[in-house]
């Protein structure tokens, strides 16, 4: 309840008619079922509502920005340690072997399937596309692998370890890891 103080008496003044402003946003419920007998509340069906949810999220790729800029320009970038020459297909700012800072290098756009899996369930973004195939791509000259999707293969039995694959890029970059995918070479 809203409280106000009287200037003369300094005692609180209570407005018993104060109401919360009602706005028409979110979920509005009408005719919500409720039993007359409270003992039957345990048998009541759960209330289920559909409520859209939206949020704006500010995200920085920070040290990985060159990787995503490369994808937008149809280039695969990795990093290489200038000290021990270890090359990362998934970029790292510092070498995991010796700790030295790495440099950006362009990776080949062709590689081989190192291993794969077929996903029959996925997050909301990929749910409509299930089943889909994920592969770890092995590149000549790189010491680590790159996780990506394999498109253009209908069944898992058509995928082979060592199968040659070629990078493809989304026509319109979304600055996401899914901007690159692979097809059989």
pLDDT bucket at 109, cuts 50 / 70 / 90: very high
Q: Is residue 33 part of a domain?
A: no
Residue 130 lies in a domain: yes
Q: Give per-residue pLDDT as tens, 110-156.
A: 999 999 999 999 888 788 889 999 999 999 999 999 999 999 998 99
Host domain of residue 86: 62-184
74, part of any domain: yes
Section 158-162 average pLDDT: 97
Residue 3 pLDDT: 54
Total count of domains within the chain: 1
Q: Where residue 93 falls among pLDDT bands split at 50, 70, 90?
A: very high
User: Would you state the pLDDT for residue 91?
Assistant: 95
Q: What is the DSSP string of 104-158?
A: EEEPPSEEEEEEEEEESS--TTTGGG-SEEEEEEE-TT-SS-EEEEE-S--SGGG
Percent of the chain at pLDDT > 90 equals 61
């Amino acid at each position: 309840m809203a409280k106000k103080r009287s200037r003369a008496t300094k005692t609180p003044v209570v407005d018993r008619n104060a109401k919360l402003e009602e706005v028409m946003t979110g979920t509005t419920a009408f005719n919500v079922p409720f039993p007359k007998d409270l003992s039957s509340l345990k048998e009541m069906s759960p209330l289920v509502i559909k409520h859209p949810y939206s949020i704006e999220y500010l995200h920085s790729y920070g040290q990985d920005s060159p990787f995503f800029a490369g994808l937008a320009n149809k280039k695969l970038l990795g990093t290489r340690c200038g000290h021990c020459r270890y090359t990362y297909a998934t970029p790292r700012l510092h070498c995991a072997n010796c700790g030295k800072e790495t440099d950006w290098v362009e990776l080949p756009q062709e590689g081989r399937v190192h291993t794969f899996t077929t996903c029959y369930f996925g997050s909301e973004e990929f749910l409509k596309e299930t089943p889909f195939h994920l592969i770890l791509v092995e590149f000549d000259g790189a010491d680590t692998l790159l996780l990506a999707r394999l498109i253009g293969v209908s069944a898992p039995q058509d995928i082979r370890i060592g199968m040659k694959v070629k990078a493809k890029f989304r026509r319109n970059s979304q600055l996401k890891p899914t901007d690159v995918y692979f097809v059989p070479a």
